[in-house]
Amino acid sequence: MATEHRSDVRPGGWGNRDFYDEVARPRRLLERGATSAIVCAGAFLVMLLAITHENHDCGLACSDGDGILPYQGGHAWTAYQDAWQWQAQWVLGIGGLVLGLAALAASTRFALRRWTLVLNALAVGCALSWIAWRLLEPPIPT
């Protein structure tokens, strides 16, 4: 039961509150810190894989005029060390980790619970995009 509001206290002040009216709903599963920590850990693993993949790129099989193999047109992007796709995959891996860390930070504040959900979804999206791109990319020429 709500209590009667007193007229001698300003509206919305502590004297008029009974603390039964404003019960905040509990956080949903995807807004909790444990979920954000799991997403962040998964994004960290994907980031490590993305950095390793970008560092190894095509190695000695590159065909872009660095002195090892001459440039030859018609190869897939994985045959060229300077292809933008290597850095784009790396950015997806790093972006997933940054978004996961932001979700973990937002999960500590109840007022940011909606941002936690959005940031978790974006972090998972980046990680899954990197995994899908990595699985579907053309093989590195040997």
Query: Is position 116 within any domain?
Result: yes
Query: Is position 112 within any domain?
Result: yes
Query: Is position 6 within any domain?
Result: no
What is the value of pTM for the model shown? 0.73
Tokens 């603390």, residue located: 19
Write down the mean pLDDT value for the chain: 81
Query: Is position 41 within any domain?
Result: yes
Query: Is position 45 within any domain?
Result: yes
Examine the pLDDT at 97 and tell me if it is beyond 80: yes
- pLDDT at residue 66, as a whole number: 56
Query: Is position 43 within any domain?
Result: yes
pLDDT tier, 1 (very low <50, low <70, confident <90, very high otherwise): very low
- Parent domain of 74: 27-136
pLDDT digits (tens, 9 = 90+) for 20-74: 666 666 777 677 788 999 999 999 999 999 998 888 777 777 776 555 666 666 7
Query: Is position 85 within any domain?
Result: yes
Domain count, the chain: 1
Q: Which of 126, 106, 136 is nearest to 45 (CA)?
A: 126
CA separation for the pair 95, 85 (Å, rounded): 15
Examine the pLDDT at 126 and tell me if it is beyond 60: yes
The arithmetic mean of pLDDT across residues 3-20, rounded, is: 63
Query: Is position 73 within any domain?
Result: yes
- pLDDT at residue 24, as a whole number: 65
Examine the pLDDT at 86 and tell me if it is beyond 90: no
pLDDT tier, 16 (very low <50, low <70, confident <90, very high otherwise): low
- pLDDT at residue 80, as a whole number: 77
Least confident segment among 19-28, 72-81, 108-117: 19-28
